[in-house]
Amino acid sequence: MMMRLKTLSVPKVTLGVWVRALFRKETPLYVKAPISLALIYTIFPIDLLPDLLGSLGFSDDAAVLGLLTTISMSLLKHYTTQQSLKL
């Protein structure tokens, strides 16, 4: 009979985990910074493409928000994996 090896379970980063991590003191700044920058870029009136250009102007906001959210979630996954290895 073969024995199963125990595998390290990597924490899954969902949107709920990500939102909670943004409001925790323990979450490092390098995880929080990308989404903060994305929100500031979306709200700030000066853009790469002005919002007056219609859907093209809003699409750059969506692209920046999506890209920086993905980066932030990836960094959070890396951070939670490192934290689970310390235990």
The pLDDT, as a whole number, for residue 11 is 60
Overall pTM surpassing 0.75 (yes/no): no
CB distance 10 to 47 below 8 Å: no
User: Cα–Cα distances in Å, from 23 out to 31, 49, 68, 72?
Assistant: 11, 31, 17, 14
Q: What span, in angstroms and rounded, lies between the C-alpha atoms of 40 and 3?
A: 52
Domains in the chain: boundaries = 29-86
Tokens 């692209």 identify what position?
63
The pLDDT, as a whole number, for residue 3 is 54
Residue 38, token pair as written in the block: 């994305």
Mean pLDDT by 10 residues, the chain (87 residues): 54 75 87 83 74 75 84 87 77
